[in-house]
Amino acid sequence: MSIDNIFGIGGTALNAQLIRMNTTASNLANAGTTAATEDLAYRGKRTVFKALMDESMTHPGAEYVGGVKVDKIVDDKKPIPKVYDPNNPLADKEGFVYQANVNEVNEMVDLMAASRSYQNNVEVVNTARELMMRTIELIKA
């Protein structure tokens, strides 16, 4: 693997973690919402990652060796909480409203993990850049 591949791999990881952070931020923004029906209630979203395998094995001259991408964003399968609140204007005829199936604490933990992973990947790319610059300096000398 050449040092150039590190930039490609690091770039895919940065992009994937950015999408993960945006998805988590959307979950946090909708955490306190209520709806009149279960179908209208916000369902938390989860990012599903997929490894990008070494395409140079099947496609000679491929630009990258590996990495990661967001394969899809799926709805969280946790049940939608049903809360008795007869004074809420969105309450159904039985007095229930439906809340988002988002746990703010879990989302904050996921956001911190995604942020740290993003920071680590920035460090990898910066270190690779620094090594490349040092190599160029050695060649010039």
User: Quick one: tokens of 111?
Assistant: 């956001």
User: Quick one: tokens of 96?
Assistant: 């229930």
CA–CA distance, 50 with 53 (Å, rounded to integer): 9
Predicted model pTM: 0.84
- The conformation of residue 70, written as its DSSP 8-state character, comes to E
pLDDT in tens, the chain (141 residues): 566 788 888 999 999 999 999 999 999 999 999 999 999 999 999 999 999 876 556 666 655 468 899 999 999 999 999 999 999 999 999 999 999 999 999 999 999 999 999 999 999 999 999 999 999 999 998
Instruction: Specify the pLDDT at position 113.
Output: 98
Instruction: Specify the pLDDT at position 33.
Output: 96
72: β partners: 48
User: Quick one: tokens of 52?
Assistant: 């990008």
Q: Helix or strand or coil: residue 95? A: coil
